[in-house]
A and B are shown apart, each in its own frame.
Chain A
């Protein structure tokens, strides 16, 4: 085990004198060390996953909600079918294949996308893939609400839109935060597939630096720790949001109680 590898220059393998500066963001060294490279790669991972998360949460919430619409009009039935098809499509194709589709195939049909950098396309792929899973969680959350909530909204004369806006979603979106936490952590882990289209993120760094330095164990260890750290950070943030948005007096369905 030789952690000194991170202080060595990526250009000539000599130890650089600014080793730890990259940790505090001074960066921009003309003679970057492996630590500089690692930090930059971490930044790419966070950027790809962060953008993907925004796409996944917004699309997932919309698609999950649409799947629960009452099928009382042709338009609503169309929306239900559309969102169901969305979930099935993006859930049943492996993420790596979806990344290749967004990178190689879809820009051939939509020329605008040709101008998009690869990290943006990976973010879209990750976002759409995860949105299908989040939609399922949101749907389950909505369906777990006592039916009296919806009935009460209808009795008060609220339209379907109003009952979702003021009654159902404020409850359901809070209930689903715990499962969304694990989906968000999955998204960070899945962002590792970006290596396949040469986004310079952590996994690609691990592969390239391992080959260059033959200090694979140290390199992989650092990358693994950073992935775990990122997922843990998301976990903390989501737990905080969950605590802040908890509904006073509302006892969430207890998994212990429902197990038997």
Chain B
């Protein structure tokens, strides 16, 4: 049996290695959630527009993103963006763009289901009041849809936070990378991997408890 030695783990190690990675993971999660919801809403509206010229491209985009492993999407963007703009791009920026593009596809499926969950009468009533399509979406349908979607958005955000660890593939400095480098520098890889697992678990577990609370509070209005 192996004995664990956690004495090396101190405040200095935390501020030198872990904090930077943690902040990047959180930043990536927040930007990708906000960006993904905005992008995903546009994709969902395109798919529900009833116009093939808008619906088809959005459908193809969403289905393509959903059938490729995230690691491959990260690699694709890291390869393609420099080709398109003609100069190299940092792993951090590449990861951010990738996550907005990738999560947009997943959020669009949630938003689509959310919009469809709003009773049709609501949209008809807005039309009868003379609202334009934009007003209808902005004031009637989307506010109700988003309220219903809050718990699913939060669940998706937890998954997103876990997924940020995959930026490992292009060497971006995230929470997991921070632990790994600390483990290598201090020669204690086993302990740092355990600490990484505990950290991720505590964050995701507490967030999922919060989601459960919110779920019971945001009762479906109707």
- Chain A residues within 8 Å of B, Cβ to Cβ: 88-89, 91-98, 100-101, 104-105, 108-109, 185, 188-193, 195-196, 203, 206-207, 210, 216-217, 220, 223-224, 227-228, 231-232, 259-260
Contact = CB atoms under 8 A, between A and B. Distances in A.
Interface of B: 1-2, 67-72, 75-76, 79-80, 83, 116-117, 119, 162-163, 165-166, 168-169, 176, 189-190, 193-194, 196-197, 200-201, 204-205, 208
A103 to B, nearest CB: 9
A93 B71 contact: no
Given A94-B165, A259-B116, A189 B70 contact: yes
B69 A227 contact: yes
Contacts of A216: 79
B72 A227 contact: yes
Contacts of B197: 93, 97-98, 101
Contacts of B116: 259
A206 B162 CA distance: 23
Nearest to A256: B116
Given A96-B176, A206-B72, A259 B117 contact: yes
A188 B69 CA distance: 8
Contacts, number: 102
Interface of A is mostly: helix
Contact of A101 (B67, B68, B193): B193
A169 B201 CA distance: 31
B67 A94 contact: no
A167 B192 CA distance: 47
Contacts of A190: 69
A227 B68 contact: yes
Nearest to A100: B193
Given A97-B200, A210-B79, A228-B67, A104 B190 contact: yes
B176 A97 contact: yes
Contacts of B205: 88, 92
Given A93-B201, A195-B169, A224 B194 contact: no
A196 B162 CA distance: 16
A220 B75 CA distance: 8
A94 B79 CA distance: 25
B200 A94 contact: yes
B211 to A, nearest CB: 12
B1 A109 contact: yes
Contacts of B196: 97, 100
Contacts of B208: 88, 91-92
